[in-house]
Structure 1
Amino acid sequence: MSSLRGLSEGFFFFKKCSILPPLMATLNNSRVFAFSTGPSITTTKRVGTHNGTFHCDEALGCFLIRLSDKFAGAEIVRTRDPEVLDTLDVVLDVGGVYDSGRDRYDHHQRGFGEVLGHGFTAKLSSAGLVYKHYGKEIIAKELQLDEGHPNIHRVFLAVYKIFLEVVNFAHWKLHLFELEEEMRIDPPIKYVIYQDDRSKRWLVQAVAISPDRFESRKPLPSPWRGLSDEELSKQAGIPGCVFVHMSGFIGGNLTYEGALAMARASLKF
């Protein structure tokens, strides 16, 4: 998923980088947990995702897949047991396989690189994968139009841009907090560095104090905030600076080296 470069320096480099419908429940150390919600629809289909802590990604993915005709009203099974997963009709965010022909929608495996296309180049989350293959069907039913209608494609891209792409972006934050806990990283990571897929600029973002909070652990320096371009580069003493947000939660540079220099300099404030 990412390089571990910079952990000891207090920043994290990403090479790439709530709506929680009532589909999930906290487990009490259960290995397998199955349930269904929503309208009472007779179905034999079963949707699988991992147990334990759940996130926006797989919760949204389960919500979306159950809006399709194929999996309407399907039972949700939460497990990591590969033998159980093999028996299920669709599996997302677990299992280490992406194969739309078998309705397998994981994105954690080595070598994964699926994107939406149509100018979007960010790797997809599991919810993004479900949307890629079932989104037009869902939108067509909602708008009561034929799936081939040109407006369906327009809405499909618009919904991805304003909603699903945000989920893809936010997913790295959850992985970062999980990584810190698993690796017992102390002191915690202050910044992440990643490239914006569209502008190709490099961004340095302050890590929030927790997944559900907006406050940053260490915002970018106050003398930089609200500045841009040459004025910012002069103030920071770093060439290629593009901007720093007024709150200090994010800034940008034209190059990776420049973003790295901004992160390192910020740690000294």
Structure 2
Amino acid sequence: MSEHTPIGLGHEARTITALTHSGNFHADETLGYVVLHYALAPMGDLRARILDGASDDCLKFQRSRDPAHIHSADIAFDVGGIYDPSNGRYDHHMKNKPLREDGTPYSAAGLLWKDYGKAAVRNLVRTQVDDETINAIWLSIDKSLIVPIDMDDNGIAKMGKLSLADIVSACSPPWDTAELHGPEEAKRRETLGFANAATAVASHLVNTVDRVRASLKATDRVLAAYKQAEDKRILLMDTGMPTEKVIFEHDLPVVYVVSPTGSGQWNVKAVPPERGAFGQRVSLPEAWAGLDTQALATASGVPDAVFAHPARFICGAASKDGALMMAKRALEIDAVLQK
């Protein structure tokens, strides 16, 4: 929690100028700009500010290494050699760089997320949520997205191929652009590349905020369903939603998840031995593998059985009662085999 009011989040009735460096760009400062956009002026034109300096709202954006421009900006990030958030300075390239409590050095994106992230999240969440939920979304994204960018930008651990950092880098023009097209065209393409990168990062952040919000909602639903379950090995969900994350984070002994599909069918999905792994804690019966409709109904004893995957991790029935019966029968068959 900031001990100061970040610039632009008070009651300033003026346009705030934010600045980062020109030249090569990375996920760090690209995300930093996107965070400021959603925190301070979410209804503005994110691309227009970059491409032509348009600012019809309370945020103006510049990319420059000119000391005079850096000095005059209200917020300067990833450039300037100063970390002084009370005065809008968010660089991290100094010898005594700002560190997280665990010693991980911040990137500029991390420093801006610390001060402006919750405001950005609040403007991005489209449904009514309380401050506790805003904080939970902010913290989840800090851990899953911001910390990896901090580590990548500070040379601790690369985010890897097809990561957000890699997508941003792919927006940069090739090294020989000036050689082939001249310095002015190279500068234009660099600016366009930053705008494209910011657009991609903005889309990712918008989707991530909404997915984290939904994930927190799913956690409450899954835990409530587990509490009501007669057999704690079978989790019955009345709506399809992600359950694996909650099962492993809360160490639930769930073996099968029963839930509806969009087509009205009900599925039984086996929980893997570890989160994200292949295999199952308890595989579906071998005698069901690859069967469907009447053949599966005969083998399982469930009249409305629809299918059983050959890999024995999922099966389904036409009704909730049928799917529950399949889950119970599968556990009974496994118990016999274990004896």
TM-score of the superposition, structure 1-length normalised? 0.44
Higher relative contact order (CA 8 A, sep 6+): 1
Which of the two has higher C-alpha Rg?
Answer: 2
Higher helix fraction: Structure 1 or Structure 2?
Answer: 2
Q: Which has the higher strand share?
A: 1
